[in-house]
Amino acid sequence: MSRDRNITLELDPEAQELLGIEEMNFKVTLIMYNDCVNGIQPSSKVAPMHNFLVRCSADDETKAAVKKAYQEALTTDLFGLVMEEYKPKVDFAVKK
């Protein structure tokens, strides 16, 4: 099963006004995801998330909005939304 995903986020009116775009389009691959997670360090979290979002932006408008989101301190929020759509929703339990 391929982990490549096309993700479209529809923005609410406040986000549309702030970022100047109605929806954001991303093409996320497993390699991009793994590179981002591997780059996250205790003292460096936002930069790998921002770089990931820029790299997987599917169009120039989304890329510009990602850069605007960074300036507005919204990178981690945006990253979280993309991850919710990208990763499968599963629960794990530790058996003791």
pLDDT at residue 73 in the model:
95
Q: How many other β-carbons are positioned within 10 Å of the β-carbon of residue 51? A: 16
Domain boundaries, the chain: 5-86
Strand partners, 63: none
* pLDDT (tens digit per residue) in 15-34: 999 999 999 999 999 999 99
Distance separating alpha carbons of residues 24 and 11, to the nearest angstrom: 8
Instruction: Tell me the pTM.
Output: 0.88
Using pLDDT thresholds of 50, 70 and 90, give the confidence band for residue 51: very high
Q: How many other β-carbons are positioned within 10 Å of the β-carbon of residue 19? A: 22
The closest alpha carbon to 59, from 14, 18, 6, 13, belongs to 6
Distances (CA, A) of 41 to 28, 36, 49: 21, 10, 11
* pLDDT (tens digit per residue) in 58-78: 999 999 999 999 999 999 999
